[in-house]
Amino acid sequence: METTPELQLDYPCHWEYKLVLSVEHNVTTLVQEILEERIHEVRKSQNSTKGNYASYTLRVLVHNADDRKMLFHLLKSHQHIKFVL
């Protein structure tokens, strides 16, 4: 059984998450709810074929692996965010 090797990153570093959510929700508001005062950048990527969903790239400074994973979990568990990569 193979295990996935841990990423070897030099922390702190900027990390990007890809977010997918319904176009009816404001990505800026959602991300602000989760990140609060953390400095971040959100860039729109694209809309789904039918225009119901939009994807965004969220760039934020992470301080260590636990911080990076915790942010992933917070984003993933938000009720209006459909997918996080």
Residue 5 lies in a domain: no
- C-alpha separations of 28 from 13, 22, 43, 77 in Å: 22, 13, 10, 17
Q: What is the CATH number of the domain that holds 47?
A: 3.30.70.260
Sheet holding 81-84: strands in order across?
Answer: 40-47, 53-62, 13-22, 81-84
Question: Model-level pTM?
Answer: 0.90
pLDDT in tens, 56-83: 999 999 999 999 999 999 999 999 999 9
Residue 8 lies in a domain: no
Chain centroid to CA 39: how far?
A: 13
Residue 27 lies in a domain: yes
What token pair was written down for 46? 């694209």
Domain that holds residue 80: 13-84
pLDDT in tens, 21-53: 999 999 999 999 999 999 999 999 999 999 999
The confidence score (pLDDT) of residue 6 equals 75
Contact 35, 81 (CB under 8 A): no
Residue 75 lies in a domain: yes
- From the list 49, 45, 47, the residue with the least C-alpha distance to 59 is 45
Share of the chain above pLDDT 90, in %: 91
The confidence score (pLDDT) of residue 7 equals 79
Count of domains for the chain: 1
Residue 1 lies in a domain: no
Residue 6 lies in a domain: no
